Amino acid sequence: MTSGQNKPTKISFVYSNPTDPAAFEAAYPQQLALARKLPGLTRLQTSKVWPQEDGSPTPAYRLLDRYCADYAAAGAAAAEAGALVGLPSSAPPEV
């Protein structure tokens, strides 16, 4: 293992602005359940990007950060993260 690969590692998922925010929010708990099922989880952090004061679109809608003990654990999680990647803009996938 090379230097740096045994350090805590974070995988970030950035969700674009959904076409139907209500549908996205209704299905978001399922997305969190999927993130928790991936191997190597040490911490899960979520955040919502709030609207800008001038009403212009935000650069993203939500963020989901998965923390793993090391690079190998993050790699194993990434290999199984297909359900978390490439979501339709209206809602997360079913669990």
Give the CATH number, domain containing residue 50. 3.30.70.100
Amino acid identity, position 61: Y
Question: pLDDT of 50-78, one tens digit each?
Answer: 888 998 889 999 999 999 999 999 988 88
Amino acid identity, position 53: E
Query: Looking at the 3D structure of the chain, how many domains does it have?
Result: 1
Question: pLDDT of 23-51, one tens digit each?
Answer: 999 989 988 998 898 889 999 999 999 88
Q: Is 91 within the bounds of a domain?
A: no
Q: What does the pLDDT read at residue 91? A: 46
Q: What does the pLDDT read at residue 90? A: 45
Q: In this prediction, what percent of the chain has a pLDDT beyond 90?
A: 48
Q: Is 13 within the bounds of a domain?
A: yes
Q: What does the pLDDT read at residue 86? A: 52
How far, CA to CA in Å, does 20 sit from each of 16, 67, 88?
11, 28, 10
Q: Is 36 within the bounds of a domain?
A: yes
For residue 23, what are the domain limits?
9-82
